[in-house]
Amino acid sequence: MNLTVNGVTHEVESSLLTPLLDVLREELGITGPKAGCHQGGCGACTVLVDGEPRRSCLLPVAYADGGEITTVEGLGTPEDLSPIQGAFIHHYAAQCGFCTSGMMLAGQGYIGAGGTDDPESIQEALGGHVCRCTGYAKIVEAVAAAARGDSFDLTETAVGKYTKMTTGGAE
């Protein structure tokens, strides 16, 4: 079967029952989705399938057949971050970073479905995602900022020298 990841179509040889996560990481070498618990409990492996967040560790790859998959590699580039990536940096929403790609994709799916900056709605949408650094408040703030389309000046941050991004989603 074929799998379209971040706009690129790959021919996949893994068994149809293989979790999408393992196909992405082991067969295609796309390591943005993290293998945390491998049983749906942590959210580190979340990717977008046709714009909707899914646990890639629970999805047989057969069920992604014909779908458009977005991983964190497809959100933006270091030089040109996506609004939610900019918001995560601005709000210090990443600590160790292991949960971050799953959190950003869940946030992206939430915003894509019309989610607002209401903290309770964001908590509900990200409720299955675990951050062992316990940086939840910052993560919710970052998703809210991205939902609002806040602008950020990232030139003074640690990533400033790598990114041209000086404003956020409203740009």
Partner 1 sequence: MATTSLALNEATEVLRPGSEDEAVEAFGDGTDVLVVGGGTIVVPEMTFRRLRPARALLLRDAGLAGVTRDASRVTIGAATAIEELVAVSAPLGPCAANIADLEIRAAATVGGNLCAGAGHEAPRGDLQGAFLALGATVRSAGEGGIREEPLEDFLPRRRERLALDVSYEEPAAGAFSGLNRPHTHDYTALAVSAARAADGTVRLAATGAGSHGIRLPSAEAAADDPEAAGVAALQDVTPHDDALASAWYRTKVLPVLVRRALTELKEPA
80 binds partner 1 (CB under 8 A): no
Rounded to 5 degrees, φ, ψ at 14 are: -60, 155
Instruction: For strands 68-70 and 2-5, give the pairing.
Output: parallel
Length of the chain: 171
d(CA 74, CA 82): 9
Sole window of 13-21, 70-78, 86-94, 144-152 interacting with partner 1 (rule: CB under 8 A):
13-21
Q: Which of 44, 52, 50 lies closest to 21 in space, CA to CA?
A: 44
18 binds partner 1 (CB under 8 A): yes
Of residues 52 and 80, the one with the C-beta less far from partner 1 = 52
Which residue among 2, 9, 51, 52 contacts partner 1 (CB under 8 A)? 52
| Interface characters, 111-140, with partner 1 (x: CB under 8 A) | -------------xx-xx-x----------
Of residues 6 and 18, the one with the C-beta less far from partner 1 = 18
d(CA 157, CA 89): 8
d(CA 99, CA 43): 7
159 binds partner 1 (CB under 8 A): no
**Contact positions toward partner 1, by CB under 8 A?**
13-19, 22, 38-41, 43, 46, 52-55, 57-60, 62-63, 106, 124-125, 127-128, 130
